Chains A and B, each alone.
Chain A
Amino acid sequence: MSNGVIAITEQSEGIFRKVTYEALSEGNRLAESLGCNLTAVVLGSGIENISDEPGKYGADKIIVVDNQALSEYMTDAYTNVVADIVNKENPSVLIMGASSQGKDMSARLSARLNAPLAMDCVEIRVENGNIIATRPMYGGKILADVALYGKPQIVAIRPNAMGIAESSGAGVIEKLDIDVGKTDLMFVEKKLDIGKVELTEADVVVSGGRGMGGPDFSVIEELAELLGGAVGASRSAVDEGWRPPSDQVGQTGKVVSPNLYVACGISGAIQHLAGMSSSKVIVAINKDDEAPIFPKADFGIVGDLFEYVPLITEEIKKLKS
């Protein structure tokens, strides 16, 4: 009998990240395979109003630590608190999103707890009570099945890779008063681009490359906005200074797995393909009919993106109305 699965939730400004619902849903599925309970951990300050939400995704118990010192994610305070919870609950599996927070915390926890970690997983299965995680390596050029040994087995899941499934759990809330312990980090400030859809979490990504010919990405931005998606860029577009580094999709940029990826004026360098090939549907628009992006795309249009992208936007508007 397993000791349970703990899902670490993540909220920003009192709203759970999408990957949190994915981690809860996957955690619930793992708990069922292991024949154990799912416990959700909610950390933050002034988070009472969202604390019961994990119950809708199968959490049997919800541990809430509401503490001023947890109002912002800080590696040391969060690691201290989660390590305390793990030591008390002794779970078999710890699951969280491989977000900027989850990647940082899972790595620190792995070292603190001497526990195995599979980072950025896209699929998880249970064999003989152990986790086997599938995770991309070499920027997605390889998928590896990784076995974890020891306890707890930590899995950080790639945003957008796993589904969200509602399921009613008992959702019993347990408020814990845990001291954040010794901390060194000080919070200075935060700047969020409100309303901007995060690339790694977007359902639709429209990216531009060298074919954009300059910093004017307005045709792409319009299509992305219409679809509630995010704008991405190839490395050439970033190197040219047309887009910020945070928009770069690829092996040395962000790895994205949206439902729809539209590559505009992107030839498809192997490093770029590595960053977007796990997208569910790929559309490529390029003047060069021999561009390596085309064999990797589900649908291709050979032509000028400045002609086709606005037409696509218009056609989708018609469809929506």
Chain B
Amino acid sequence: MEIIVLLKQVPATESFIGIADDGVSIKTEYIKWVINPYDEFAVEEALRIKEAQGGSVTVVSAGQERAVEAIRTALAMGADKGILIKDPVVDNCDALGIARILAAAVKDLQFDLIIAGQRAVDDDNFQVGTAVAEFLGIPNISLVIKEEIADGKIKCQRTVEGGTVVLEAPLPALFTTQRGLNEPRYASLPGIMKAKKKPLDIKSLSDIGVDASEIGEPKSKILAMKLPPEREGGRIIKGDSSQSIVAELVNALHKEAKVI
């Protein structure tokens, strides 16, 4: 089974996010960069499939030089090979542009299965994995918590509102991950040592046969960023007894806030 994992490096979820002076991007000085948590599920699932069925796992990312660290971490977990598409055009892309570039990067690779995170926890676009499947003309199943591969087909259980749905697709196919799929392993020390010697290619757009004009101008653009409004409240309800505190709270929710 030849498996490709699409991976993005994102700010760790515990990061405080501030807006940069340009007003349309975030301050990056104090950010700790990590593998997108949903892509970590993707790496883990790819490794489990490889361990059960043989084959190889290739991690593909598009981003800046620093994304090499995230790819190395995936290699240390056990992936075999990494490819980073690094190009000035990448930095200017929206999700659709990134999907086009990733699709071009994997098009000429051998693959039976592509696994991607349902979303990256920075842009929260929920878009790239599914769009890559469309550009490659292969089926996709999103928000997967369980998969099973047999006879050239993949059966996936996906989460929907209030339950789950099981779908089946012929390979090659792409699926995106949902929390609950697995618990990603930590990279072991020998894994980290081995990862240093594993192939990691940095390629430009022309290396993957893409002309910048094919990507075109972004179709969506951030005009402004703002912080969500601060809550004024923070009203701690105090009283002589728990009964009186609760009575005041319920009264406030009913009469002031009108939510019950």
Contacts and interface: CB of A to CB of B under 8 A. Distances in A.
Interface of A: 12, 17, 72-76, 79, 98-101, 103-104, 106-108, 110-112, 114-120, 132, 135-150, 184-194, 196, 198, 200-201, 204, 227, 244-246, 248, 251-253, 259-260, 269-271, 274, 277-278, 280-283, 289, 294-303, 307-308, 311-312, 315-316, 319
Given A76-B139, A311-B246, A139 B124 contact: yes
Contact of A299 (B168, B226, B235): B235
Nearest to A131: B220
Contacts of A271: 13-14
Contacts of A189: 165-166
Given A143-B226, A148-B220, A190-B163, A100 B246 contact: no
B222 interface: yes
B141 A190 contact: no
Contacts of B17: 138, 141-142
Contacts of A79: 134
B24 to A, nearest CB: 8
Interface of B: 11, 13-14, 16-17, 19, 24, 26, 37-38, 94-96, 99, 121-131, 133-135, 138-143, 145, 155, 158-170, 173, 178-180, 217-228, 231, 233-237, 242-243, 245-247, 249-250, 252-254, 257, 259-260
A198 B161 contact: yes
A111 B234 contact: no
A296 to B, nearest CB: 6
B185 to A, nearest CB: 16
Contacts of B169: 184-186
Contacts of B224: 144-145
Contacts of B155: 188
Contacts of A137: 122-124, 225
B41 to A, nearest CB: 10
B246 A312 contact: yes
A297 B234 contact: yes
A74 to B, nearest CB: 7
Contacts, number: 264
A189 to B, nearest CB: 5
Nearest to A255: B124
Contacts of A114: 96, 219
Given A191-B164, A252-B38, A307-B242, 17 more contacts: A76-B139, A107-B127, A119-B124, A136-B124, A140-B228, A143-B227, A144-B226, A185-B169, A188-B166, A198-B161, A251-B13, A282-B233, A283-B253, A297-B233, A299-B249, A302-B236, A312-B249
16 contacts: A12-B161, A100-B143, A104-B142, A108-B140, A120-B126, A135-B124, A137-B122, A143-B225, A145-B223, A188-B168, A252-B37, A274-B13, A298-B257, A300-B235, A311-B242, A315-B247
A16 to B, nearest CB: 12
B16 to A, nearest CB: 7
Max chain A Cβ within 10 angstroms of own Cβ: one of B160, B161, B220:
B161
Ordered nearest first, which 6 A-B pairs have the shortest CB separation? A245-B180, A116-B219, A298-B233, A111-B134, A107-B130, A192-B163
B228 A138 contact: no
A114 B166 CA distance: 29
A318 to B, nearest CB: 8
